[in-house]
Structure 1
Amino acid sequence: MNPDNSECEVVWRDMTVEPAYGQPEQNAIVNRTNGKIMPYTMVALIGPSGAGKTTMLNAITGKSREGLKVSGELLLNGNFTDPRVWEHAVGFVGEHLYEYETQTVKETLRFATMMMRGGTCDEIDTGVCELAQTLGLIKTLNTRIGLISTGEKARLSLGIALIKKPSILIIDEIMNDLDQSTAIHILEILHGIKQQGKGIMIAFQKIPYGALDFFDSIMMICQGEIVFSGGVCECLRFFASQRYHLEESQSVSEFLTNVLTVNVSGEVSEQRRIDAMKRCWKQVEPPVVSSIISQIDFPVVFDRTLQKFTMIFRRNILDFFRKTEFLKIVCVQKITTLVMLVFVYFRLDYTQKGVRDRFGILSFIVINCFEKTVTVSIMVFETHRKVIKREICTGMYGTTVSYFAMLVSSFVTSGLSNLAYTIVVYWMVGLNPRFDRFVFFLVILMAALVFSISFAMLVALNTKTHVQAQILGSTIITSFVIFGGTFVNQDTIPGFIRWAIWLSPIYYAFEAMLQNQFKGMLFECDFSERDCICDGEEALQFYGFKRIGTGLSTGIVLLSTTLCVFLGVVSMRTVIKPRIGEKDFENRSETTGRI
């Protein structure tokens, strides 16, 4: 059976989510929950804030956070399933829409369609228009995501999940910030989707008035445990048996919310009440069994790595050039720095002062290349991190293609602008006029730029927040600068820490650049002056940059770049990926059948 347009049923039994390295006394976040989502049904998952709704849904869809351990059985049509089939059969809509704010609604839907389904341009455009019509997004197709309303973002998020035509759709609290009419409109859309044979579960903190009419059953969760699962009438009877009665002035939605609300002022008595509710449900909870038993096969998908790389790359480039305010600031910064450098270093001469000035301008170029590129690259990656994670977890593309698309696009946007600006500085200040020296200067600079971008991505991937990434990145770059030889002669560094010079890529880039520029140069020298430098060889010897050759220094920078790229790809595969992997599914089906 192909997962596209097929009837599917998800069943989970004894699902528990707990800290992977927690203490024995720590409680599970989700504790031994059971449930199922059937075709042609809509299930409302209701629970107060912190009840475990999102954690349980993330466990079902394979998106559990790091540091959490998931156990229990998870079945698709009665079988333990390959994760690739799971990706196609089960769709997930998160509480927040993480997308490129500069993209239009049409571009976003078109990108998702091309990534997940492919097809000709006409087929894709037709499908996008039909989906937009269904979701009521026709009028906003050409509006950028940053300018659409919260309700429109919720519908767009739903549309992205529907593109791959999942048989099961799991939705996490997308209606929290919506008004009642918008929430009901979305439920009407989902009701129509349900009629096509889909199974749908939607999480609510507080279910909107009038929304219960759309649902076939409800599941109530409190403190990580299910306290009821079934129809609305059964729910009212169950709670009436525990002396919770629906008052005439109350709506059913309000009644259910009040039952689950924990009053913190009476913590002990409230905990007893919740514990009693859990015990009562465990006594009457029916067994959860699969009613559909069939094998679902993974659909044939052709390798479109190059096409996906091109699409991600193009999107990144468009996003960069659409951020006009940011571009204006960057242009002002570049022009201001350029003007100041030209005023200070204009037309370098070949006097003893010219020796020092050449050393100064080259050290500025190297340090600026590393520091500015790392800062901007971390910022760009962190801006897109959540989008990338969401798209990888939904199976749009792989981690490797995403990494290289980000690396190349960052080089085009940040690297080439830095390169162009440095070329202007090179000729206006009058560095080495030989063309071969200029070309090799560009090679060294490009190697430093690619290293800086790959290093920035590596740092960003291995830190949790933008602030952490910037602090760690700047700290490491500062240490590279200190041991890079631009501010102090290496021979004056204490012996016990002098070895750190050989770990600094700035040292190798600076040495290669100095040797490339100074070798073969002659300087005016008054031999009556002390420490007069006659030629480039003496200058390199004087400043301590004649330890290794130009080619070897450049090769070490390239080797460092290769290492950063390799570690970046590995980090991308381990940090940004679904938590349920292929190995986990094999272990479940071949051994104990547990998650």
Structure 2
Amino acid sequence: MDFLVGTALIVLPAQHQVPLALATAAVKGLQGLRHRRKLRRAASSSGGMLEGGGLSEVQLEWRDLTCTLAGKKGGSSRLLLNQVSGCAAAGRLTAIMGPSGSGKTTLLAALANQMPFSPRVTLRGHIAANGVPLQASKVRSGYVQQDDLFYPQLTVRETLLMAAELRMRGQGGEEERRAHVEEVIARLGLAQAADTRVGDAKTRGLSGGEKKRLSIAMELISRPAVLLCDEPTSGLDAFSAEKVMGVLKELCSDGHTVLASIHQPRSSVFALFDDLILLADGEVVYSGPASAALPHFEALGHSCPTHYNPAEWLSDLVAVDYSSPETEAATKERLRGLVAAWRNDGAAVPGAEAVSGAPDSAAAEAVLAPPSRPRCGLGRQVALLFKRSLRQVLRDKATNIGRASSQVSSAAVFAAIYWRMRRSQSSIQDRMGLLQVSAVGTAMSSLIKTLNVFTREKTLVGRERARSGYGVLPYLLSKLAAELPLGAAFPALFACLVYPATGLNPRPARFASFLALLTLEAMSAQGLGLAVGAAAPTTEAALAIGPAVILVSIVFGGLFVNARNVPGPLKWLPHTSLIKQAFEGACVNEFKGARFELDERGQGTASGDEVLQRLSFGGSSVGGALANQGRIMVFYWWLTYNILVRRQARYQPLLPPANEES
């Protein structure tokens, strides 16, 4: 159905395109409204876990987790996790340690039910919360990933308030949500930075430790019972790392179940751990109280030297040394012995039986009630996202100043080259050249900016959508509305400078048409950038694909290849060229009704209409060019919508162990 609608937007006449686009948006809105009503009915009938801020204690358990990565082209498969079992108890800080490639992130992603889907990966085993299978428990959990992604121009308070408005709608009033945000800010030690912008490479903002604490705060907004953190100290200095881990330790005292992977922490951080899971090559080497880890390995003949960081010693103990064949064989043999010893004698570790104890039935019942997390309405989503997008756009001074400077410098260069063009025969070519480079420059400026920003933003949007924050349609509508003012301002700046300086048609109506053509072209180029950015896997790929598409658009833009000479199978390409629509409209705007001086021999083109006939623009109009450009813009936005919907994150399903399948 979506494919047919998109095709119709390209093929139908201009007068039918806007009604069709509005009708399509209305259908999507009604579908979303129906879906939200279902969510609200389900939420009201469930009772709502954690309503009013209560926190049910949850014990997270997993048994025989095995993750297999199939080899390419029939190659041998690799075990990322091999029958990993363990437990994380409420009120205790459980750390997952191990060398690089040991399976820490894989285990956390599996427990968070956020392991990216791959047809080559198989995940098997059991995960339960208070004895209830995780898929059926609906336990509320938070997952803090390694990279901290935020809108850099928003402050800490604005970021958390936005998350609360989107994810806590229906859970108390606005004052209650604001109070909860202030409580989270104070709990995470962010009070002094509450009104500081998050920042990025261009804008000074939060420190690395503050960003990590903000990531944790974002998950605490929904009051999770279980908090999973992947490398929360990665990239932080020792002081900031200890402060972040101290925050996680304090959360445990509130009854949260906290599980964090960490790589070689300092000794003071290691002392904060209640329980420790030590992994190596996808195998469990130790799982139990952190205080019992060193005695366990000492009993196996491996003693930690005095005054040595136990975390570093443990990581070195289970690491494989590949510096030579001899050391590789020796360390692999040692690791096999440690894994075998744990499998044989692990239950005898003091305290391990308490960590893996079975929950009572009352605790299991507490998990069965699904949490109430209805989205706010479509109109509310658009309003909130519009406010955020507008702040992000208007506060990004570095980008705005850069774009404005680019427009001014381009206008200055073009004005110097085409200064006060006369009505001579040679000025005909000059005018066509100026109109073409104006169209190309406007499109490229909008495209490159969009590609640079959106390819990073879409990852953040994907995470927010995974948290049931909002839908694709309100996101795109709000983005279009927020970026429209500046999207029009930069082409207008260029036009106001270059148009009078170069001696183009001085009539006010012609200038207004020129401005409208460049503005709408900039919006089409933004739509192209969004579509390419949504489809491309990386910023580098998007920056390679986008200009290539524009290059094709330039070739079929009306100046280099006459429409009459385009080969039959490619006749459709000029109709999709946003450069052609801008150039064609600008040529009609400039040449229609114009008169030119003949050369000294009385030869040449005296009428601008003859120029249009030569370009195959004789039957064109400015209004037709604007309508075609609008059609292309709508198509690219429709394409972006469908790409984002179809590329919603997919996660690896948890299958039962192979020996339990019927």
Q: If the TM-score is normalised by the length of the shorter chain, which range does it land in? A: 0.7 to 0.9
Residues 274-307 of structure 1: per-residue CA shift (max 9 Å, x gap): 2333333344566978634331314052523333
- Answer whether contact 1:45 1:203 (CA < 8 A) is retained: yes
Give the deviation of 1:27 after TM superposition: 0.8
- Letter paired with 1:143: T
Separation in 1, partners of 2:112, 2:660? 17
Q: Distance in 2 between matches of 1:240 and 1:367?
A: 71
> Could you say which residue in structure 2 is the equivalent of 1:209?
267
| Helix, strand or coil at the partner of 1:133 | helix
The alignment status of 1:8 with 2:58, answered yes or no, reads yes
Aligned to 1:191: 249
1:140 equivalent to 2:167? Answer no
Q: Distance in 2 between matches of 1:290 and 1:554?
A: 69
Aligned pairs for 1:239-278 within 5 A: 239-265=297-323, 266-278=327-339
- Is 1:306 matched up with 2:384? no
Deviations 1:386-413 (A, max 9, x none): 4334433344333443344344444433
**Contact 1:11 1:289 (8 Å CA) reproduced:** no
In the TM superposition, residue 500 of structure 1 has moved relative to its aligned partner by 4.7
Give the CA deviation at 1:173: 1.4
| One of 181, 184, 206 as aligned partner of 1:128 | 181
Deviates more, 1:212-221 or 1:497-506: 497-506
Q: Tell me how far apart the structure 2 counterparts of residues 506 and 411 of structure 1 sit (CA, whole Å).
A: 19
1:566 is matched with: 638
CA contact (8 A) 1:342 1:428 kept: yes
Question: After alignment, is 128-137 or 183-192 more displaced?
Answer: 183-192
Choose from 18, 34, 41 the match for 2:92.
41
Decide whether the 8 Å contact of 1:373 with 1:415 is kept in 2. no
- In structure 2, how many angstroms separate the alpha carbons of the residues matched to 1:19 and 1:390? 25
Query: Does the 8 A contact of 1:46 with 1:207 survive in 2?
Result: no
1:281 aligns with 2:325: no
Look up the match of 2:364. 293
> How far 1:102 sits from its partner (Å)?
3.3
The 8 Å contact of residues 407 and 453 in structure 1, kept in 2 or not, is answered as no
SS in 2 for 1:148: coil
Letter in 1 for 2:121: K
Matched with 2:151 is 100
Q: Which residue of 2 aligns with 1:52?
A: 103
Assess, with a 3 A threshold, how the Cα gap between structure 1 residues 525 and 137 changes in structure 2: closer, same or farther.
Answer: same
Where in structure 2 are the equivalents of 1:373-392 lying within 5 Å?
A: 373-392=446-465
Distance 1:29 1:167 in 2: 27
Structure 1 contact 3–166 (Cα < 8 Å) conserved: no
Contact 1:151 1:178 survives alignment (8 Å): yes
Q: In 2 relative to 1, CA 526–250 (structure 1 residues): closer, same or farther, beyond 3 Å?
A: closer
**1:535 aligned to 2:644?**
no
**AA at the equivalent of 2:193:** T
C-alpha contact 1:60 1:74 (8 A) present in aligned 2: yes
- The residue number in structure 1 matching 2:127 is 74
Does the residue aligned with 1:29 lie in a helix, a strand or coil? strand
Deviations 1:96-149 (A, max 9, x none): 322233333333333333332256664444333332222222222233334333
What is the letter of the counterpart of residue 32 of structure 1? Q
Q: What do residues 238-265 of structure 1 show as CA deviations (whole Å, max 9, x unaligned)? A: 4345332344444543442232232223
Which range is displaced more, 350-359 or 470-479? 350-359
CA distance, structure 2, for counterparts of residue 65 and residue 407 of structure 1: 30
One-letter amino acid matched to 1:47: G
What TM-score results when the alignment is normalised by the length of structure 1? 0.86
1:459-514 CA-to-partner distances (Å, cap 9, x unmatched) read 12222322221122112211221222223545566788677545533223322332
C-alpha separation between the residues in 1 aligned to 2:331 and 2:448? 50
Residues 200 and 437 of structure 1: is their aligned pair in 2 closer, same or farther, counting only changes over 3 Å?
same
Partner of 1:151: 209
Distance in 2 separating the partners of 1:305 and 1:244: 61
Which residue does 2:19 correspond to in 1? none
Cα 1:81/1:298, change in 2 over 3 Å: farther
SS in 2 for 1:293: helix
Give the fraction of aligned pairs with identical amino acids, expressed as a percent.
23
Which sections of structure 2, spanning at least 5 residues, go unmatched?
1-46, 200-204, 348-352
Could you tell me which residue of structure 1 aligns to residue 5 of structure 2? none
CA distance in 1 between counterparts of 2:660 and 2:474 reads 33
